[in-house]
Structure 1
Amino acid sequence: MARKALILVEGGARTGELYVQTAERLGIHPIMLSADPAQYDYLVAQNIESIRVDTGDLDALIRECSRLRATYDIAGITGVGDLFYATVGKLCRYFDLPGPNPASVERCCDKFTQRQFLAEAGVPVPAYRVAANAADVESSAGEIGLPVIVKPAAGSGSRGVRLCRNVEELAEHAAYLLGGKHIWRSSPSILVEEFAEGPYYCAEIMGNEVIAIAAADFGPPPHFVFHECIYPAALTDDEHRRIADVSRSCLQALGLGWGPTCIEFRWTKRGPVVIEVNPRLSGAPGPQLVQLACGIDLVAEHIKLVIGDKWNLRRGHSHFAAARFLVADRDGTLEWIKGDSEAAAVPGVSEVKLYVRPKASIVTKGDLRDWIGYVVAASPSLAETEAILERAVELLSLSIKPDTVT
């Protein structure tokens, strides 16, 4: 009997590792298809099979999957990030496997199109415009009113996202996005939108069921880099219901409802306003936090859905789980980082993850690439979880030496 395999189209630098580990735990052989497998260091470290292929070429992926079917029983095909998830849906349809609707994924991944679908369905979203050049950005901001959020219409991880509070910041960021520093995978398209002020929440959804809602805090503006995330958010029953209702409206408007969805909100004077709908799980450590908080392994349940098995979304317990992110605050070279073993030994800490090692070059970007690592903790009470995190983080220290300017 042929060995069961799970095909992953690209892996994501962080969440992809969870998928390959979970697939193996479920007795399925993971195979990564990637244009550059070397970018995922966990593939070598965990001896994961990988194949170099142009993942931007659907026909090439079909040929590779067809070749693999001669050796393996391909149980399912999936991916991690936004960029290749529509391609995953097309592959699943070609090979008659369970998968997302590629048209729904594509309308989600274009943030302007997403906004249009949501607005037409009456879902609360910020005022928005689309811009192709600096003049469009300026005129759009004038119509909406400063401050505004300026960001690429496609992308993830807060890359290229900035709060612009005046015309100088507006011109500066437009020049950055259009001047060759931002990497565009298609024709430049910029979303200019109203700054929706208020607490941030994120709903994790499987199918049509809201599994958990998180609260998170960002670092200082003008960027949006997560510093802390807590599951579950401290919401009243009415607030939870309103976020869940708007979440289901998003799914209906965008044609989603198969597999995972992650919806980001700001709670404004209007109530929950949708910032973004992502047709995937949130990135690590989101899935770990959900599992610690309510006992549901979203990665495992997603893989079960992908391979045609029944999932189990029953809660196992009700705890508070939180992550504190270590964020680079300057450019330079990481001289040393200490205390990770001590932090991991603090009772209640479930994970200490470091993304960089001594002598690594640090270049701040104003997005998730500024994360040096994170600490995750959980307990039955919110106060206890926050105290555990505080004790663990106090044990960590690092030194970034500024680069010498010559």
Structure 2
Amino acid sequence: MTNKHLLVVGVSSSGPQHRFYIERIRRAGNEITLLTPQYHSWLKDIVNTFLYCDPFNEDACVEVARACHESNPFDGVLCFYEPYVKTAAKIAANLNLLGLSIEVARRCRNKYAMRNALWQHGVRIPKYALAEDYTKIPEIVQQFEYPVVLKPVEGAASIAVMRLNSDADLEVYMEKFVEIPRILNFKGEMPHSFLIEEYLDGEEACIDSFVQGDKIVPLMTCEKVLPMKGPLFLEEMYLSPPRYSKDKMEKLLECNTQAIKALGVNIGITHAEFRIVDGVPYVLEVAARPGGMPFPMMIELLTDVDLPNLMAQLVSGVSSIPTVNIKQHVALRDLFAPKTGKVLDLQGISECMDHPNIHSVTVYTKVGEQVYAPPHPKGFRPNIASVVAIGKTSLECLESLIEASTLIRPKIEFVENMKH
């Protein structure tokens, strides 16, 4: 697909995160217009036009996009960034372009609305309740037995998600975590509300799927290799295909299909998260966008599916159902700062990249920069590096990943009173 004019709604502030998508789509011969609140110099060589508007101001974005559309019509609207999914849907709807309905996008963005829809359709989910603001959290928690999990309703990337085992843990959460949505300026219909849910003791998995009408095609299923038992849920290691039995895999895929249909998603790429308890999957959430970087790269390594251009074709109305054939194993390890401070040294990057089974290393920091660890609001995302390995077997893939990624050794000096 070439010569299409595509509107991309928002990107994250980190260069590697979304450059991969835009670069791929641009390389295929398409024109890119980026709607963004600010100029991004790291995209100047691949973005044709910048439109400046706050993506959280949905109505203003519609008008800015409409003005551009009248002089240079868009063929489709794309969004790779969780906070802006609803804005993208509203623009597409107002310009009569393909996309999720505004209500479905809202349902996928708001975890409380999502849980309600899943529950109404009989999809297995944890027991849950809403605290409309942080002052209500202690009262709502008393309706559950410990352990429980708290998470912001409009959050993403496991930011401020914590398992509580006791009233003492609740005090820690109230002291150090409830202000994170305000500090990070979460926006949406319920930016300062929290979901309280029962903790399910099991393994975690995720699935990225292609959706077109009633066709749902799983592109990549990952097991999260390390135990996800809390208190924080930093997602550190993924493996695909997962080492599951045929029965477990079938149940997981069936649950994924049920959840996507229950939410009304009929176009796009979804990223669904699950807990598997005694072989039975429960849905934690379904996002109306792909998994974060480097998931698109992993999908291509796993299946040869070019996810960025598949998405572009889908919203332009020229896509076909992708054929998914697993050609090798792929694994990811995200490296987080062990403590908040200043990076004095970062060793082992070149040695890691030299490993024959390492496909790529994305480095997020450099010597002299500050890095963060939870409960600092910036400590919930990978901030040292992401390492992707390939292999002929799951064992080869994991062994290579662990061997190579442990070569990366950041030396961090603790710094008091680092600002948010």
Give the structure-1-normalised TM-score: 0.92
User: Whole-Å Cα distance in 2 between the matches of residues 108 and 257 of structure 1?
Assistant: 12
SS in 1 for 2:83: coil
Which moved further from structure 2: 44-53 or 128-137? 44-53
- Aligned residue for 2:203? 199
Report the alpha carbon displacement of residue 227 of structure 1 after superposing the two structures with TM: 1.4
Which moved further from structure 2: 172-181 or 331-340? 172-181
- Aligned residue for 1:390? 402
What CA RMSD, in Å, does the superposition of the two structures yield over aligned residues?
2.4
Q: Is the 8 A contact 1:160 1:182 kept in 2?
A: no
User: 1:195-248: per-residue Cα shift (whole Å, max 9, x none)?
Assistant: 111110001111112222101136773111111111111111111111111111
User: 1:110-135: per-residue Cα shift (whole Å, max 9, x none)?
Assistant: 11111111111111111111113456
Q: Is the 8 A contact 2:22 2:46 kept in 1?
A: no
Amino acid at match of 2:200: A
User: 1:173-194: per-residue Cα shift (whole Å, max 9, x none)?
Assistant: 1344544546442452111100
Report the alpha carbon displacement of residue 80 of structure 1 after superposing the two structures with TM: 1.2
**Alignment: residue pair count:** 403
After TM superposition, the runs of 4+ consecutive aligned structure 1 residues lying more than 6 A away are: none
User: 1:226-282: per-residue Cα shift (whole Å, max 9, x none)?
Assistant: 111111111111111111111111122111131111110011137101111111111
Report the alpha carbon displacement of residue 142 of structure 1 after superposing the two structures with TM: 2.2
Q: How does 1:16-95 map to 2 (within 5 A)?
A: 16-38=18-40, 42-44=42-44, 49-69=49-69, 72-95=72-95
Q: How does 1:2-401 map to 2 (within 5 A)?
A: 4-12=4-12, 13=14, 14-38=16-40, 42-44=42-44, 49-69=49-69, 72-133=72-133, 136-179=136-179, 181=183, 183-185=185-187, 186=190, 188-207=192-211, 208-216=216-224, 217=226, 221-269=230-278, 271-365=280-374, 368-401=380-413
Amino acid at match of 2:32: P
Which moved further from structure 2: 41-50 or 305-314? 41-50
Report the alpha carbon displacement of residue 341 of structure 1 after superposing the two structures with TM: 2.5
The change in CA–CA distance for 1:308 and 1:391 in structure 2 (over 3 A counts) is same
User: 1:147-193: per-residue Cα shift (whole Å, max 9, x none)?
Assistant: 10011111101111111111121132134454454644245211110
SS in 2 for 1:313: coil
Amino acid at match of 1:86: K
Report the alpha carbon displacement of residue 54 of structure 1 after superposing the two structures with TM: 2.5
- Structure 2 stretches of 5 or more lacking a match? none
User: 1:5-52: per-residue Cα shift (whole Å, max 9, x none)?
Assistant: 2111101335421221111122112221111234xx631475664232
Which moved further from structure 2: 65-74 or 265-274? 65-74
The change in CA–CA distance for 1:251 and 1:29 in structure 2 (over 3 A counts) is same
Instruction: Give % identity.
Output: 22
Give the structure-2-normalised TM-score: 0.89
Which moved further from structure 2: 208-217 or 351-360? 208-217
Q: Is the 8 A contact 2:152 2:191 kept in 1?
A: no
Which moved further from structure 2: 89-98 or 196-205? 89-98
